[in-house]
Structures are given as structure tokens and as C-alpha cells.
Amino acid sequence: MNRFSYVRATDVAQAAREAGAPAAKIIAGGTNLVDLMKYDVERPGRLVDITRLPGLRAIEDAADGGLRIGALVTNTEVAYDRRVEARYPLLSSTILAGATPQLRNSATTGGNLLQRTRCYYFYDVGTPCNKREPGTGCPAIPGVNRIHAVLGASEHCIATHPSDMCVAMAALEAVVRVSGPGGERAIPFAEFHRLPGDAPERDTNLGRGEVVTAVELPARGFPAHYTYLKLRDRHSYAFALVSVAVGMEMDGGRIGEARFALGGVAHKPWRDPEAEAMLRGQAASRDLFERAAERTLRGAKGYGHNTFKIELARRAIVRALEQAAAGTPQSQVDKRIR
Amino acid sequence: MPDHPTGSDTLPLSLTVNGEARQLRVAPWTTLLDLLREDLGLIGTKKGCDHGQCGSCTVLLDGKRANACLVLAVVKEGSNVTTIEGLAGPGGALHPMQAAFVEHDAFQCGYCTPGQICSAVALVEEGRARTPDEIREHMSGNICRCGAYPNIVAAIEQVLAENAR
Amino acid sequence: MSPIPNAETHVGSPRSRVDGRAKVTGAARYSGEFTAPDLAHGYVVNSTVAKGRITRLDTAAALAAPGVLEVFTHENRPRTAWFSYNYQDEVGPPGSPFRPLYDDKVVYSGQPIALVVAETFEAARGAASLVRVSYEAEAHETDLKNRMDEAYEPPKKRTGISPPPKPRGDARGAYADAPVKVSGDYWAAYEHHNPMEPHATTVVWEGGGKLLVHDKNQGVLNAQSYIASVFGLGKGDVRVVTPFVGGGFGSGLRPQYQLFLAVMAALELRRSVRVVLTRDQMFTHVYRPNTFQTVRLGANPDGALRSIQQHAIAGTSQFEDHQEVVVNWAGTLYHCDNVELTYKLAKLDTYTPGDMRAPGAPLGLFATESAMDELACATGVDPVEIRLRNYTEKDENENKNFTSKELRACYQVGAERFGWSKRNPEPRSMREGRELIGWGMASGAWEAQMMKTSARATLTADGKLEVACATADIGTGTYTILTQIGADAFGLRMEDVTTKLGDTTLPYSPVQGGSWTAASAGTAVQLACEAVREKLFKHARKASGSPLADVKLDAVSFADGRIEVTADPSRFVRIADAMRAGGVDRLEAEETAKPSMIDQLRYTGYTHSAIFVEVRVDEELGAVRVTRVVDAVAAGKILNPKTARSQVVGGIVWGIGMALEEETMPDHNLGRFMNHNYAEYHVPVNADVQGIEVVFVDEHDTKVSPIGVKGLGEIGIVGTAAAIANAIHHATGKRVRDMPITIDKVLG
């Protein structure tokens, strides 16, 4: 870890101003940033501590029936919040599927949005990486890519976004509130994270000096028909190989609104509007779900070690949709995949 | 931005550690874990990975379990930290969780043990895990390479049962 | 001294660990936790190429960083021993050991190439990132598949490792003629030990050329000899003290590079230095080798084996021939007249692999026992029954009898406890909801060894006993069992006995490994205590008017701080009185335990197990859960059922990891392990482990070791991976021969 200076911001404007400096980084929970600093992947010249900022620690009801979650609310606080549990159980479920009680106590909502990839090469400064050092190459493509992307990757980067929480946020069509030099703005979740393209060093569309202040959840929370199915290499404390978050509304046997997002397969939580559209108004059936899964994975490409993810994702989508339609969410404690 | 900030390396920090108020000075890059182990001599909090991947450094931070390795000490100004050294009662009487770990042989090499115990104490306090499956899930942030997991679960079950009485 | 609460012996009874309090309060001090005034901190810089030469090592920025004392590289390394044999250690394989910072050559990716020493850990870490290195890289090879054609039988055998036996009969011909045949290729991934405590050394500079070294290892004497030899020091000037070891599993058998670096820096800077490896650096030394095997079994329709062929190729480094016992196990488990076993190595541009919990055995038996399961399927004979039909009462590799072998009882007891008789043999026949249920089993074996070991017993007039031996307790419970043995020798309470370990000033012990410590150190303590008993008894008889004057040693008992006539406890002499009669206030004896040469010539000794596993596999998604394990173990005398069970449970958890999760993934383009951390190298977590039942089968064995102990450190892992693979086959009908059996392989 390099040497750096430290400032404790007292208001959002100051934080944004400080964070706008070229070598500055914002620190909140620190669970990813301190990790990356110890690996010398991040070498900030100045840390801007936003943990004391007022007004970012609350979960508040919004006028439209939604919920506003402050950027500094911890993962634990969100997951066990009564309103979240009752109205957005999918969000609770995804958060509790990730990391550990210890990490969830420290990790914040804003930080989770900005969590960086787990790509082995990104983490190892002894190897090239286009995301870490643009232009050096991507050894994951011909190399070890078990945990890498099968959708939306580019010739420059096949990294995946590792967050569980964000997969639910994508399905819930959350809105990210940010504050920065240009004032405040709202970023729809689908536009918050980027695909790698030819600029894999940029994970998100957040501008320099912009601070995430809150995430807003629209009123529609799919409390009756949802599921988060996470498949991984051990039963807890592991990143997803493939995960699927589903929110559905059912009218008798027919599907009303339907959304699903995939984790572990792309540089961002992956949604396919066409596949979702196929579900709406249809009777829930395995055949329908299989077709939706096919549609979602139509452009999928494997790189060797990770090719299995395509078939795994196909099956996981079908299972997750079945579970959601049947109202039998995946339990995070009893890992039986029903 | 140069690697070296201007001014002094260290910043003032007030922490309460195991009930004792401490006025300290720390460099901004010092983690809570290194502060405890190197500066305060509280070696009971272990460094197993230094990256939040094993749970050996679990302490109670303002009453909640946290990985001390991922916390920059300076960020926690004013916080209250309890380490394994702060769990035993007066006269060295073991905390019920410590006693249950000994009784159930819930450790072998002992290196992950302080983190396991801090985590288990928090688990009981949180009140969310009751069944063996729930205990397993809520203790999965603490790796034990010796594989004492079944005994760890038994120790926690005993403390939960004692508390329920 | 207060009376002993009951008359039962400590040995054989469940006892809590004597070091338990130290471990649950955080008081136990591990090697990276000792300190000294003026302690400096070292941080290692590792190579990023697998093979080549360092052309430039720019340390200027690092040296200029605040708090930095020195940056050691091959260019400024202080003089050390010239010859590679000076770097050899007690357990190293044939070859030329790795010499840190020796020259500009890079022989594996992750090789230590510099040590930054600074006033604080953070300063050293920060400066290490400023060291700039240029390489002239050469073509490397880390892929075993590309080197299998060049595999060779190691010309020089590793001490203590039995090479495969000479072929018996005509295995190929018998296979060709056999009515039932199974054959398959098996892969085992690289695994890294990953003890929770990273490797660490604190060297306390004591002045006058004396070093006090706290080093994470499994044998302080081995570390001491290594340092003395490499740095040309007298053994009297180097004391190694390692009271607690945060897990070893074999990674602490040989000296690791942080020991060299810390001692080098301390000697050069003439001050105390600590070097602790990061978790990532724990992937830059020893590991379990990547191993390929082919197994062919030929049998009669009733399952009787007619031919066994098992061939292994394991990776090793360019500079050493690491060897382990992979293919020999079938010869100790099964009767067969036609057997051909081979074991070869292939050279790769990696660090030398090493012993990792039960080296060789779980790899070899994964293949053998998977093939036996396949044979059971092919013949329609129950998996337990087919093993009983081929049971051997003789070690057919060595043509010797066993000291004891209660494996038959293990099969029976294990099957009974598991409910094996309810198993429907048909694969995919058992299910619940979307999960297929599979029941599988396998046999386990591990050599029961005893090594020459010394111990000292010191009894004082206040009825306190100290036992001492240089061996380690790496979590195995050695402190506790030696305390039990000592306490029983004098009828003392556990609290009256202190056990000292892990110090080069204590009596000789080899490294702690191979499951031999309980038998070896246990016997040594027993002998030392017996010697003290004899001395004490002589004094007791001499006491004026001694009620023991006319009795013999075998007619007395030691209890409640006194020596009493067993048949008439009212006749006794107190320990304090006996010492007074002898004019002493303490009695001490040091004894050495050695294995019996005659018994070793006549017999071979093994610990055995039969392990039964239930898995549940999501049929569609391939997710596997191990939901139930019963392991029946025959290991001779069980000194402490509580810690013994923990040893076996731990081994089973390792088996779960090996079967389903653990894999270090090399990038062969870069010649580098990529998932070098605890997040991406998966070891089992609590949620992976459900019901485990361990049953110890009665086994009396006076030949294997004088105290009848066989050892338990390895046996738990040995058959576990095979049993899990067999259970997965039973659940799904899919035979996976490639470990770990991850979700993709179950689906694929």
C-alpha cells in the first residue's frame, strides 16, 4: 500500500470537490478499496472519507411508494430493514447471498455499486490487465477464465461485475442518485454500469467528482414472486459463477410484469428486455422459461474454462423463473435449490 | 499526486479498546488490525489473509463484527473496539463462548479461534441464527483450515441453549 | 496436592486441550507475534516471470522511502553457504534445494527476489511496491500434460518414501484375460496448504552473535540445522522457539524462504527482524503436486481381482525430485497376484511440491477406490462386499504381515452406522425433490510410523511434573496427549503437569509429520516417566521404615501424590517423602524411543478407515452438497477420544475440500498460479460441512509402537475424496475422475 493523505469530508459538496482531484479516491466501508490498495491495484494519493457525511445513512419512504436507501447504509442494515424485507425481499435475499456477516456490516450500499471485478489478473499487479493498466492486454482471454464473462465482453476485457446486490437492483430498476460538480443527477440502474468495450478501465458512468448519495427503489418490489438463485464453488462466502435475480407479478397462472437479471456472467448485471418481454402476459411454463433463457443467452460466448457458464446460466434462469412463479424463493441458509 | 503527502505521517485518533479510552496517533494507511497487533500489542486478533477473505481478524466494532484488516484505523475515530482480549470477565473468567469452545474442542491450531469466538459472540447477540444450518451460514465468514466446523457449531449451540434457559 | 477426582486414567479418556485457555483468550503467541525492541520488518518482493534472468533490479525509490533500512537482492545479499547441500534439510527430497536471492536466475513465478526491510510493516510494504524489476524471460513449461512424455522414474529415492514395489505376476496379461475390466485416467489439481497462520519468522537479535528465532515450522531442530548450515553459525548460537503453530499440514516441514530472509537480514543489520508472508505469498512455495494417474483393474465376475495396474505421473520442480507414495496403497488393501505399479515425475518450471496432509495417499486412493467402485458397478457386487472379497491379511507389496488390521471391522461398523444396507445400488435411484441422493464409500490407509524421539520428564517434590520434547503441536493436540501420558505415569491431575514443546533446547524430535508424533513423542515421554518412577521408587524404598521396602515396582501404583501398594493402598510413601529420603527435591530423566527393528523387519503397520458419504446433487444445476459422513477408523490405541475425533473430522473436511473445491489454477502462458488468495482458492467454509460421525474401531496393537498408537493426522482425508466421487456417481450416474469435482464437471 502506498502512502497517501487523508481528509474527512463534512458535507457532500466538499466530498465531491475533494474527490474531483485526479488521484483522490472516496472511502466509506473500505471493504473493497482497502483490499485493492493492499494489492497496489489502487494507489490513491488522497483518501476522502465520507463516512461522516450527514443524511446518507437513512432508509426513507419515498412519495411514490418507493424507498430511498442512503449511500452509507450498510448491507446488513438494508438486508434486515423491515421495509426492505417486506417490500423488496429480493434485495434482502441477494445481499445475504453475498460475502459474510462481517463484511456486510462494513460494506455500504454506495460502495457495493462500485465494487470492482474479481478477475485474477486485475488483482495481480504482476500480470498485464487492460482494466488496471489500459493497453497492456488481457491474459484472461487465453488464460484462466473460470470466473469470467460470457455475455457482453470485448476483445479487451472479459471481467465480470461481482456484486450480488446489484443484480437485484438491476431487476428492481433502481435509480442511482449522484451529486457532483454539475449538481445532482439520477442514473437509471441499467445505465450505471458499463460494458467493457474499448475502455474496460471504466466500470461505471459515474463522472469524476461525482458522489453516490442514494439508491432509489421504485414502488414495484415483487414481494410475492421473486427469487435469487446463486451458484458458486462453495456453499457460502464465494462469488457467483452464475446468479439469477427474478421479480415477477402473477395474475393467476399468467405472468404480469417480469424481470430477471444475471450476475457473474457479464461486466454488469445482465438484463435482456426481449427475453423479459417474452414472459409478460404468458402462462408460466417450463417451455416458456426455456425459450426466455435461450433468448437471453443467444449471444453468449465462452473462453474455455468459463464456457460451462452458458449452459449453467440457461438452467439457472429456468429454475429461478420457476421458483419465482411458484412463489418459492431460494433460501440463503438452507442451500437446497428447490 | 506524489506518493508522499505533505505534513506529518500521523493523525490523532481516539478509540475505546476493550473498555479503555486510548488517545493514539496513526498513519492513515494503518489498518485497525495492524494498530491492534503492532501498536497496542493485542496479538489475539489474527492476520490470516489481510484481505477480508478469512475472518481471522474479526473484532467487535461498535458492537458489530467486522474484519479489522479492511478498516483503516483513522476512519474509525471515536469507535469502540472489543477484541478477544476483552471478552473474559474479571479475574480471567472465560466468556461462556470461550468456555464452550474449549469444552467442544472447537479449534485445533488456534489461529482462527479468536476471530471465530468474536464472530460467534456477535452471532448470539444478533439473534438471527438458531438452527445448525443457520449457524453454519452465519459462521461462514470465519475459515478454519483445521476443519473444526462441527465442533464450532456445537459450541455455539450450547451457548444459545444456555441463553435460552 | 488435592486428590484425583476419579480413578480412571487420563489416557483413553476425553480431555480438553491443555493449551485451550491460551488459544481462546488470544494469549497463544505465534511466530509472527513475538517482538523485540527495535524490531525491523521485512516485506518480500516476488518474481513475475516463471523462468529467466533478472536484468535490472532498481531499488532506489524503495531505499529512498521513509523508514526503509535496506533492500536485499541477489546483488547485495550477504555471503551465505556456497554449496547447495548446505541448504538441505531433514525431509527434503533428492536434488538441489532452492536458495533465496542466490543469483539472477528466476526458476519459478513468485520466486522471492528482494526483501525490503523497514522500521514498520507499513513502510516495508509500501516500499516493496516501489522496487522495479526487468527480466530477460525464457520459455517455460508449467503444464504437466506437455511433459508427460518425458516423465521418468526418480533415479534417487527420497528417504522414507517407499517406491512402488516390483511388479508381481503378469498384470497386463491377466488384465487382457480378465472377464471384467475397468480402466480410467485420473487428474488431481494443484492444491496449496493454506494454514490459517501465514509463514512467519521473527528473529530476535540477542547480541554476541546469538539469535533467538521464532519460526513457523513443524520442527524447530530442522530449522535450526538449516540456519546453522546456511549461515555458517554454531548451533549453540541459534535457538529456535516455536510454542504454537497456526496449522502446518506439511507446509512447515521444510524451511520456507521467510526463515532464510529474516535470518539473513538480522545478521546483516545486526538487529531483530520479522518477515511475515502475505496470503498471496503462501502460494509461492510448497504445494501438493498436480498428479495424473491411469488405473486398470481386471476381475472375475464375482469381483475377485485378477489384475491391478496403477501408474502415476506427478509434477516436480527443475531442481528437486519430490516424491510421495501414490500408487502403492492397493497392495496393502487388496489381494491380487498380478500387480504393476509405477510412479514417475515430470519436471516443470515451478517451485518444488511437498508433503501436504497425507501426501500421495488421497490421490492414489482417489483413483484406486474410484476404480473399485466402478468394478462393483460392473460386477453388480456391493462396494463393501467387493472390498471384503478382495481383502488381504498380508501387505502384498512387502510380503509382510500387518502389526494389526481391523479394516474388516471398519467396513462393518461404518456400514452399520451409516445404514448402508438400505442403499439401492442402482445409480440415480434415490432422490428427494430435485436432488439426487448418492451413497458412496471408500477405504483409507496411512502408514503407522514411529521415529526416534527423545523426551525429558522432571518431577519435583511438590508433586508437579514437567515433560519436554522438541516436537511441535501444530493443532494436533500433542501438548494434551503428552500431558495425559505424564499425568497417568504418576497418578497426577492434568493441571499438575506442564508440557514444553517447540524449543531447540529440548530433547530431540524429528519434524512433526506423517502422523508419527503421538506414537514417537508419546513413547518417549512414557519411557522418561518410567525412568523417573524407578528412581523415585528406589528412594521411596530407602525411606526409614518404608512400607515399600519389600515390594517390587510392579506391585505399586502412583496416585494422589504418593506411591502405594496396589493391593493395599494403606501402605504408601508420599512423593515428597521419597524425595527427602533420597536427598533430592527433583528427579529427572531423559529417554529415547526408537521403533523396534525386529518388528519393523517382520511387519508393516497401517492405520485404516472405511468412509461412507451421502451427497445430494441438484440434478439440473450440478450443485453438490455433502450431507452425511461416517468414518470408521482403526488406529490402534486412542489416547484422547476428544482430540482424536477432531483430527479425523479435520481430515474429512480436507477431503471435502479436495473432492469438491480446492484447486490452484495455473496460467500456463504466464507460468503463474492465478487464484492465489483465500477468496478464489476455495477451502471449505462452515456451510460446506454438515453431519460428520467418527467411530473408532477397537484395535490392540503392541507391535506398531510401545504405547499401541498408530497416528491420526492423515487418515481422515485419505479415502474421503474417493467416497465423495463414488457417491456422486451413485447419485448421478456420472463418474468424474478429475478433482476437484466442481459444478461444471457434474454438469458436463
CB A44 within 8 Å of CB A234: no
Task: Burial-class residue C96 by CB neighbours within 10 Å (0-12, 13-18, 19+).
Answer: middle
C-alpha grid cell, residue B71: 478498516
Burial class (CB in 10 A: 0-12, 13-18, 19+), A125: middle
Nearest to B84 among C25, C122, C677 (CB): C25
Residue C684: list chain B partners with CB under 8 A: 147, 149
Residue C650 confidence (pLDDT) above 60? yes
Helices (H), chain B: 32-34, 96-103, 113-126, 132-138, 149-164
Task: Flag if C679 and A236 touch (Cβ within 8 Å).
Answer: no
Of C660, C672, C747, the CB nearest to A312: C747
DSSP C322-377: -----STTHHHHB--S-EEEEEEEEE-SSPPP---SSSSHHHHHHHHHHHHHHHHH
Out of B2, B67, B140, the one facing A45 most closely (by C-beta) is B2
Pairwise pLDDT comparison (C623 vs C514), residue with the higher score: C623
Task: Tell me the chain B residues in contact with residue C200 when contact means C-beta distances shorter than 8 Å.
Answer: none
Q: What is the mean pLDDT of residues C119-139?
A: 98
pLDDT score of C461: 95
Residue of B5, B66, B69 lying closest to A105 (CB–CB): B66
Does residue B126 belong to any structural domain of this protein? yes
Between chains, do B84 and C645 touch, taking CB under 8 Å as contact? no
Positions of chain A with pLDDT under 50:
338
Confidence of residue C5 (pLDDT cuts 50, 70, 90): very low
What value does the CA radius of gyration of chain A take, rounded to a whole number of Å?
19
Which residues of A fall within a CB distance of 8 Å from C45?
none
Cβ of B70 within 8 Å of Cβ of A2? The answer is: no
Q: Is a pLDDT exceeding 80 seen at residue C274?
A: yes
Residue B4 in this model has a pLDDT that exceeds 80: no
Is B8 a residue whose pLDDT tops 90? no
Chain B hits for C218, Cβ within 8 Å? none
CB C166 within 8 A of CB C219: no
pLDDT at C646: 98
> In C678-709, which positions are buried (b, 16+ CB within 10 angstroms) versus exposed (e)?
bbbbbbbbbbbbbebbbbbbebebebbbbbbb
Would you say domain C38-139+195-278 falls under CATH 3.90.1170.50? yes
C3 pLDDT exceeds 60?
no
Give the count of beta carbons closer than 10 Å to the beta carbon of residue A327: 12
Q: What is the DSSP string of C452-495?
A: -EEEEEEEETTS-EEEE-S---SSS-HHHHHHHHHHHHHT--GG
- Select from C25, C217, C629 the residue whose CB has the most chain B CBs within 10 Å, as the one to mutate to test that interface: C25
| Domain C147-191+287-449+601-747 and domain C450-594 have a common topology | yes
> C344 - beta bridge partners?
C313
Provide the mean pLDDT of chain C: 96
Instruction: Please give the residue that has the higher pLDDT: either C599 or C523.
Output: C523
Domain span at residue A234 reads 225-326
Q: What is the DSSP letter of C384?
A: H
Residue B81 domain-assigned? yes
pLDDT over threshold 80, residue C352: yes
Confidence of residue C82 (pLDDT cuts 50, 70, 90): confident
Chain B touched by A307 (CB under 8 Å): no
C181-216 tens-digit pLDDT: 999 999 999 999 999 999 999 999 998 889 999 999
The residue of chain B nearest to residue A5, with distances taken between CA atoms, is: B5
Whose grid coordinates read 508419546? Answer: C522
Per-residue confidence (pLDDT) for residue B3, from 0 to 100: 38
Mean pLDDT within C664-677 = 98
**pLDDT given at position B2:** 36
Residue of C nearest to B153 (CA): C686
Structural domain contains residue B142: yes
Query: CATH for C450-594?
Result: 3.30.365.10
Flag if A105 and B65 touch (Cβ within 8 Å). yes
Distances (CA, A) of C734 to B91, C156, C425, C738, C748: 59, 40, 14, 12, 9
pLDDT of the residue at C560: 87
Inter-chain contact C197–B9, Cβ cutoff 8 Å?
Answer: no
Identify the CATH number of the domain in which residue B158 sits. Answer: 1.10.150.120
Q: Which domain holds residue B43?
A: 11-86
pLDDT of C405 reads 97
* Interchain proximity B31–A102, CB inside 8 Å: no
B142: which chain A residues are within 8 Å (Cβ-Cβ)?
Answer: 100
* Mean local confidence (pLDDT), C78-107: 93
Which residue of the set C447, C590, C614, C714 is catalytic?
Answer: C714
Residue A289 has a pLDDT of 98
| Chain C stretch 386-445, residues whose beta carbon is closer than 8 A to a beta carbon of chain B | none
DSSP string of B95-114, one letter each residue: PHHHHHHHHTT--SS-SSHH
Q: Which three cell numbers stand for residue C491?
A: 497418578
Taking the C-alpha atoms of residue A116 and residue C556, their distance in angstroms, rounded to an integer, is: 72
Per-residue pLDDT for B115 more than 50? Answer: yes
- C709 pLDDT above the threshold of 70: yes
Q: Cβ of A63 under 8 Å from any chain B Cβ?
A: no
Contact residues for A294 (Cβ-Cβ < 8 A; gap 6+): A314
**Is A40's CB within 8 Å of C747's CB?**
no
pLDDT score of B165: 83
Answer yes or no: do B117 and B140 share one domain: yes
Tell which C residues from 645 to 684 touch A, by Cβ distance under 8 Å: 660-661, 665-667, 669-670, 672, 674-677, 679-680, 682, 684
Chain C contact present for A102, CB below 8 A: no
Q: Note whether B42 and B95 are same-domain residues.
A: no
* Cβ distance of C646 and B111 shorter than 8 Å: no
Q: Do B95 and B32 belong to one domain? A: no
Chain A nearest-CA distance from B20, in A, is 23
CB-CB contact of C586 with C579 (8 Å): yes
Is the CB of C507 inside 8 Å of chain A's CB atoms?
no
Q: Give the best residue of B75, B81, B149 to mutate against chain A (max A CB count within 10 A).
A: B75
CA distance C368 to C308: 9
**pLDDT of B143 over the 70 cut:** yes
CB A50 within 8 A of CB A133: no
Domain closes at, from B66, B86, B106? B86
Determine contact, residues A195/A268, Cβ cutoff 8 Å: yes
Looking at residue A338, its pLDDT comes to 47
Split into its structural domains, chain B has a count of 2
| Same domain flag for B82 and B94 | no
Give the pLDDT score at C7. 55
pLDDT for the residue A331:
61
User: Do residues A172 and A217 lie in contact, with contact meaning Cβ atoms separated by under 8 Å?
Assistant: yes
Whole-angstrom CA distances from C280 to A144, C117, C194, C674, C681 are 17, 19, 10, 10, 10
- Residue numbers of A between 117 and 136 with CB closer than 8 Å to C: 118, 120-121, 123-124, 126-127
Same domain assignment for residues B17 and B73:
yes
- Domains in chain A, number: 2
Mutation site, A31, A116, A120, interface C, largest C CB count within 10 A: A120
CA dihedral C348, C350, C354, C360 (to 10 degrees): -40
Ramachandran angles phi, psi of C614, nearest 5°: -110, 130
Residue A285, min C-alpha distance to chain B (Å): 32
Domain residue ranges in chain C: 38-139+195-278, 147-191+287-449+601-747, 450-594
- Respond yes or no: is residue C714 known to be catalytic: yes
Residue type, C503: D
Longest dimension (CA), chain C: 86
For B64-101, the pLDDT digits (tens) are 999 999 999 999 999 999 999 999 988 999 999 999 99
Instruction: Tell me the chain A residues in contact with residue B5 when contact means C-beta distances shorter than 8 Å.
Output: 3-6, 45-46
- Domain with residues C147-191+287-449+601-747, CATH architecture: 2-Layer Sandwich (3.30)
Tell whether B126 lies on the interface with A, counting CB pairs under 8 A.
yes
Pair B69, B124 in one domain: no
Q: CA C666, CA C745: separation in Å to the nearest integer?
A: 18
Q: What ipTM was predicted for this assembly?
A: 0.97
Q: Provide the grid cell at C653.
A: 473436511
> How far is the C-alpha of A182 from the C-alpha of A203, rounded, in Å?
20
Q: What are the pLDDT digits (tens) for C454-476?
A: 999 999 999 999 999 999 999 99
Query: b/e per residue, B117-134, with b = 16+ CB within 10 A?
Result: bbbbbbbbeeeebeebbb
CATH of the domain at A311: 3.30.390.50
